[in-house]
Amino acid sequence: MRLRRLEPILRRALRGPCALAPGTRLLVAVSGGADSTALLVGLRGLAKESGISLWAAHLHHGLRGAEADADLAAVRALCGALCVPVSAARWNTRLRMRRRGLAGQAGLRVLRREFLLAVARRCGAAAIATAHTADDQLETVLLRLVRGTGLRGLGGMAPRRGPWLKPLLEATRVEVEADLKTAGIGWREDRSNLDPAYARNRIRLEAIPALLGASGGRAARAALARRVGRTAREARGAARLAETWAEQVLSRICRIQGGEITLDSKGWATYPFAFQRTMLRRLWARLAPNGPGLTHQHLEALSVLATRGRGGSRVALPGGWTAERDRGSVRLRRAEPRSGVARAAFPVPGRFEWAGSAVRGRWTSADRALRRLERMRRKPDEEFFAAEALAGPLELREARADECFVPFGRSRPVRLGRFLKKQRVTRDVKSRPTVLADAGGILWVLGVRRSARAPVKGTTRKVLWVHAERHD
């Protein structure tokens, strides 16, 4: 089985942005659809000349019944015909998402990524190839435009990001299907791709046909995908250049002293508006590399503060940071902790006595934590947190009823006092709740519920394990 149109595209990718060292094992994500089928067949034809070995992976989501069963059977049959080993799993994704506070297509993407990363670790793959095409790039760019985006967002998907490769990104869906038909290779169709409930499907089925008009057929769609792909490639290059320049400028107009960053607002104001936003994003990446990003509202407020804010005016930022206008500068620092609240630093590794409980913490591997979580073997008095998502030093402290946090399994913040009233906990816990927290806020209300922050994912490398044992 050879794909004459797609192999040159894949060859250019493997010699360019998706290059791999000889002897590398590449994991290929295969759903059974046209794109992933073509990706696996095409890579199989080039594996020997590229010096790589292949391993396939397929996740049965447990959502589409007999159709999903047929997808799995088709993938196994294809891998058998190509002599490519395959790792497949059947997950109850509804249960997994509910227990982890995930939802919708975004939640399924998180689970798929974790599955693929876990398979890659087990089979020794150094990279993971997914079957995104130029048509997917077109949909991604349009979707980001509709939702609002900057220069980096206009760049769409990069052909390579960390271990993730997209070697088919320059191929259109027309080319994929034409090559498969010529080679006599079938594929599976996922009917959920026709469901207008999903924004991406509406872009594909309604918005793009409307843009092309009555005369726009498959060839016109492919041409549009290529044009948008070229624009996205230029936007990614411009974004990289702007970010590199921003780092150089920030080194001149920023001063770091005692955990506080001072930005020269006069120097900052001499640069164009779009570049000012780039500098603010890069500055925030220094402050909170693993924390939540700045929203459009944050960027707008910071811009106003730096250009025409009055002395002493402030802007609250995620993770306990505040920005305050001073004479000719903006100072960014963590908010000072409130007084009158009992608190103590929580050393890791270590054991600490607090309010009738022995609280222990240690660092552990992501593999060990994920095995416990996947097998539902976590005990009610222990929790796991992704180390790279923690913000600053840890502490145990009394919580206030008016504090807000996002409980695990939910997407919106709630006041702690109101949340505890609905929980079946003792009066002592309700009146004097103890929390594990970092600079970003509550991580775990001991004995009650952890927050949605710092979840352990397939991309997590290091994990904080915490155990709280109540003294009788």
For CA atoms 2, 5, 10, 11, the dihedral sign is positive
Q: At what angle do helices 34-50 and 173-183 cross, to 10 degrees?
A: 70
Does residue 92 register a pLDDT over 80? yes
Band of pLDDT at residue 89, cut at 50, 70 and 90: very high
Does residue 339 surpass a pLDDT of 50?
no
pLDDT at position 427, please? Answer: 58
Of 23-37, 163-177, 233-247, 316-330, the one with minimum mean pLDDT is 316-330
**What is the spatial distance between Cα 59 and Cα 18, in angstroms, rounded to a whole number?**
24
Q: For the chain, where do the domains classified as CATH 3.50.40.10 start and end? A: 343-470
Confidence band (pLDDT; 50, 70, 90) for 373?
low
Confidence of residue 210 (pLDDT cuts 50, 70, 90): very high
User: What is the spatial distance between Cα 29 and Cα 452, in angstroms, rounded to a whole number?
Assistant: 28
pLDDT of residue 429: 58
CATH code for the part of the protein at 258-334 = 3.30.465.60
Which is more confidently placed, 90 or 405?
90
Angstrom distance (rounded) from CA 212 to CA 206: 10
In the predicted model, what is the mean pLDDT of the chain? 87
User: Do β-strands 314-316 and 441-445 pair in parallel, antiparallel, or remain unpaired?
Assistant: unpaired
Position 376 scores a pLDDT of 47
Ranges of CATH 3.40.50.620 domains, the chain: 6-235
What would the pLDDT profile of 148-163 be if each residue is shown by its tens digit? Answer: 888 889 999 999 998 9
Domain range 6-235, its CATH number among 3.30.70.1520, 3.40.50.620, 3.40.50.150, 3.90.1150.60: 3.40.50.620
Boundaries of CATH 3.30.465.60 in the chain? Answer: 258-334
Supply the pLDDT for residue 233.
97
Q: What is the pLDDT of residue 380?
A: 63
Residue 133 CA to residue 366 CA, distance in Å, equals 32
CATH class of the domain at 343-470: alpha beta
Interatomic CA distance for residues 59 and 37, integer angstroms: 14
Q: Per the confidence metrics, is the pTM higher than 0.85?
A: no
Find the mean pLDDT for residues 281-308: 81
Task: Report pLDDT digits (tens) over 395-449.
Answer: 888 877 777 888 887 777 788 888 887 776 655 555 567 889 887 788 998 878 8
